[in-house]
Amino acid sequence: MPSRTAKRKRASVDDPAVLDEIAHAQNEHQLFTAWAKLRGVEINGVEAKSIPGRGVGLVTTKTLKEGDRIIFIPEKAMFQPDATLLKRNHLTAASPQAQLAVSALCAFEKLDSSFFTWQEVLPDENDFKASMPMYWPRELHEFLPPAVKQPLTRQITDYEKDWKAVKELCKRRNFPEERFKYFWMIVNSRSFHWKPPQNKAGIMVMCPFIDYLNHGPTGSGCNVLQNAKGYEVLADRSYEVGEEILATYGAHSNDKLLVHYGFMNVSPTTGSTGADDEIRLDAILLHNLTDAIKDQLQDVGFLGGYSLSPETGEICFKTEVAIRATLLTANEWEYFVSSGEDLSEDRTKEVRGLVKKWLREYRPHVMGLIESVEGEGEQCWGQARELIKARWRQIGDAIDKFEV
């Protein structure tokens, strides 16, 4: 069970300790930390710190034990959609993301905004333009892997629908589209789902300080939990001073992390992309399957969604089914679909051999795209090109490591 922590005194506007932190703050992150404490945020044993290659994250300032409560965000400290604003502007039917984004835009952009200190530590538009594919020019999109293009297309469609919903409100308040787009991306990459007590409907919210947490693959991050009073972060293990604490944003592949968060997970020591990553094989398999086999797979719900784990070298069950459709008789294939086993002899080696053949045939396409993207886009899109090339290299590495 998590260890019980001593009841902490809540900070107030006249709390001497917090006022001293404000007076002696040496950068915007220390000032924001004090600002968050004044709003009831509890912070135990961590501080925001620049981490080479990872931006800003949370690093321990003292030893922590498994189960220690590191952060607590009470409901009153969360930034929530402005119900009055939304009702007056007929936006109650807009998407939850649009509601939170336009509420944040109207609150943060006020000349006398109380959120200025928070905004100072958020990514700026230039950060998003460098790392987020939605900001990149369309000519660069053509060089993205298909598994990145698909969620990116959905994201752009969602954004355009949300902009259409809030456009008139932004026009009346003289907010250009770029400012709404900026807050839409802030919400997209830094929001939480909050389910209030007493059976009220859930909403999207922003939580100060907790959004400093960088992402780690499944099983490598602290426990982020919701209770009746707010969000809390509990230590997943013991920590020494100076260690970064992480949270898992979800079991996302690098394709999804790139689209929604503007980065990819890569181990600085091994180069591993982690257990959550997958290389999508749809473009490869569908190119090699006949129309008749595609219809056959469609009938049983196995058309598309094929993947390879770069961590283990395993192909997913859908891929096993699709390849066997080219090798087995109808009875043998139907038996495998229903049982996951071959009817007579094990055909796994033969299946993997065909996958390897198709991967090798795809390899020159990977290298060609890495070379082609180098000359695309203006100089200012250098980071975008590097991210695109990095993902294609990861795909190429997974192909090279795949064994029969």
Q: Of all residues in the chain, what percent carry a pLDDT higher than 90?
A: 84
| Residue range 20-26: mean pLDDT, rounded | 73
- Asked whether the beta carbons of 258 and 133 are under 8 A apart, the reply is yes
- Whether the predicted pLDDT of 1 surpasses 70: no
Which of 346, 289, 340, 291 is CA-nearest to residue 316?
340
Residue 7 has pLDDT above 90, yes or no: no
User: What residues does 203 pair with on adjacent strands?
Assistant: 194
Q: Band the pLDDT of 303: cuts 50, 70, 90.
A: very high
pLDDT digits (tens, 9 = 90+) for 115-125: 999 999 999 99
pLDDT bin (cut points 50, 70, 90) of residue 16 is: confident
pLDDT at 191 over 60: yes
224, burial (CB in 10 Å: exposed 0-12, middle 13-18, buried 19+):
buried
Output the pLDDT for position 227: 92
How far is the C-alpha of 47 from the C-alpha of 61, rounded, in Å?
Answer: 7
Domains of the chain by range and CATH?
16-78+207-261 (2.170.270.10), 83-203 (no CATH), 279-401 (no CATH)
Mean pLDDT of 102-116: 94
From CA 376, how far away is CA 130, in angstroms rounded?
Answer: 15
Question: What pLDDT, on a 0 to 100 scale, did the predictor assign at position 226?
Answer: 93
- Which spans in 270-375 are helix H? 282-288, 291-299, 317-324, 330-339, 348-373
Q: Computed from CA positions of residues 291, 296, 299, 305, in that sequence, does the dihedral angle turn out positive or negative?
A: negative
* pLDDT given at position 379: 67
Chain segment 164-178, per-residue pLDDT in tens: 999 999 999 999 999
pLDDT at 3 over 50: no
Under 8 Å between Cβ of 364 and 243: no
| Ramachandran region, residue 52 (left: φ > 0; alpha: ψ -120 to 50; beta: rest) | beta
Would the pLDDT of 196 be above 90? no
Task: Taking residues 139-143, report their average pLDDT.
Answer: 93
pLDDT of 21 above 80 = no
Q: What is the mean pLDDT of residues 130-150?
A: 95
Position 19 scores a pLDDT of 66
Taking each helix axis as running N to C, give the angle between helix 382-401 and helix 348-373, from 0 to 180 degrees, rounded to the nearest 10.
160
Angle of helix 348-373 versus helix 317-324 axis, rounded to 10: 110
User: Using alpha carbons only, what angle is made at residue 48 by residues 46 and 49, rounded to the nearest 5 degrees?
Assistant: 115
What is the mean predicted confidence (pLDDT) over 245-267? Answer: 95
Residue 245: pLDDT above 60?
yes
- What is the Cα–Cα distance from 254 to 265, expressed in whole angstroms? 6
- Which residue carries 């044993």 as its tokens? 45
For 334-393, the pLDDT digits (tens) are: 999 999 999 989 999 999 999 999 999 999 999 999 999 877 666 668 899 999 999 999
- Over the chain, what is the mean pLDDT? 92
pLDDT of residue 201: 83
Query: In terms of C-beta density within 10 A (0-12 exposed, 13-18 middle, 19 or more buried), how is residue 343 classed?
Result: middle
| 3-state DSSP assignment of residue 367 | helix
Q: Taking residues 97-118, report their average pLDDT.
A: 95
Least Cα distance to 169 among 118, 114, 98, 108 occurs for 98
Span 291-309, average pLDDT: 97
- In this prediction, residue 10 carries a pLDDT of 47
- Per-residue confidence (pLDDT) for residue 378, from 0 to 100: 63
| Rounded Cα distance, 305 and 286, in Å | 10
pLDDT tens per residue across span 36-89: 999 999 999 999 999 887 889 999 999 999 999 999 999 999 999 999 999 999
Structure tokens at 130: 């460098």
